[in-house]
Chains A and B, each alone.
Chain A
Amino acid sequence: MSCERYDWKAYAVGELAVNECREAEAHAASCDGCRGELARVRLTLETLSMLREEEVPRRIAFVSDKVFEPRWWETFLRPSFAAACVIAAAIIMHGYMTRPPAVDSAAIQAQINQAVTRAVADVQQRNADLETQLTTLYVKSTGIKYQ
């Protein structure tokens, strides 16, 4: 049975201050119980030290390796990507807001037809007027009534 005052586990794992170590050692020299307890703790630690340290089976990836590259969603968080998105959105919005009104092809066709009809009527009217003038001139100059 060891004395409660001395913390032999803390001693064995190197957690006591230098002066505490000296005091504990001086005590152990004259106390069988504490010597026995210290021996058991040390033996346990020695046995634990027999555990083999394992080699890393394959190397941990380096920063330059692919595993350190950002995940796909992290790409969206990059400032350059975010800036590109904002610019692209601005271009699309601008294009949407300033585009010409929708084209109604039927209305245009109707307008064209109307204009053509008007033009044909004008030409026919002009031809009729010209023919009347020519007839008048002919009658005046020849005295013969044009039939």
Chain B
Amino acid sequence: MIFREVEDRDLIAKARKGEVEAYNLLVSRWEKRVFNYLLRLVSNREDALDVSQEVFLKAYQSLPKLDDAGRFGAWLFRIAHNEAFSMLRRRKPEGEMPFETGTPVRGSELLPIELSLAVERALSRLSEEQREAVLLKVYQGFKFEEMAEILSCPVSTVKSRLYTALDLLKMTLAPAILRGES
């Protein structure tokens, strides 16, 4: 991880000097993570791909403004967050994301593909903010402080969103046996 961080730093320095290939390599390294994050956030493959493209274009144009090359990941995801939410704002009116409590999943009975779909469904039932907190922590492995930076909010808000989301997901996803059902 540290080695990778140093490499990214080196690539960023080269990209800043106008070495196109260095930036192309950065894109190759981060595109899958950014795409998956956006896919779960906007719930549409084409939109996720379009926004991913915008994210890497904006990042390239803003590269001279990046203060600390060691925080490239959080910086990139901050751009992704901003792009995704401006797209979501354009797409639908504010506050149109009702939370639904879905049918609990009986995990032990499901195949991996079914489980994956169940997780996808459970995530889609969270509010955008809760879902994003889960995506950044569980799937992208960012620390609370980095998440606060990405989302432009206090660490306490980040924790609150994540914990509420995990409680809701626990209700939806936990196998019946652990919830005391027979």
A and B: interacting chains: yes
* Residue positions of A touching B, CB distance < 8 A: 9-10, 13, 15, 39-41, 43-45, 47-64, 67-68
Residues on B with beta carbons closer than 8 Å to the beta carbon of A9? 162-163, 166
Is A51 a contact of B107 with CB atoms below 8 Å? no
A51 touches B31 (CB 8 A): no
Chain B residues lying within 8 Å of A52, measured Cβ to Cβ, are 113, 116
Stretch of B1-9, B49-57, B70-78, B87-95 at the chain-chain interface: B49-57
Whether B170 lies near A13 (C-beta < 8 A) is no
20 A-B contacts, Cβ less than 8 Å apart? A13-B138, A41-B170, A43-B174, A44-B173, A45-B166, A47-B169, A48-B139, A48-B173, A51-B40, A51-B116, A51-B139, A53-B32, A54-B45, A56-B31, A59-B31, A60-B52, A62-B27, A63-B27, A64-B20, A67-B53
Do A64 and B39 touch (CB < 8 A)? no
- The SS class assigned to the A binding surface is loop
Q: Does B13 contact A (CB under 8 A)?
A: no
Bound-complex Cα distance A13 to B137 (A): 8
Say whether A56 contacts B32, CB under 8 Å: yes
Asked whether any CB of chain A lies closer than 8 Å to the CB of B85, the reply is no
Question: Are B36 and A53 interface neighbours, CB within 8 A?
Answer: yes
Q: A135 to nearest B CB, angstroms?
A: 100
> What A residues does B53 contact at CB under 8 A?
60-61, 67
Known contacts A56-B49, A56-B52; decide if A47 and B137 are in contact (CB<8 Å): no
Q: Are A43 and B175 interface neighbours, CB within 8 A?
A: yes
Kindly state the separation between the CA atoms of A11 and B10 in the bound complex, as whole angstroms.
34
B112 at the interface (CB under 8 A from A): yes
CB-defined contacts of A58 to chain B, threshold 8 Å:
49
* List of B residues within 8 angstroms of A62 by Cβ: 20, 23-24, 27
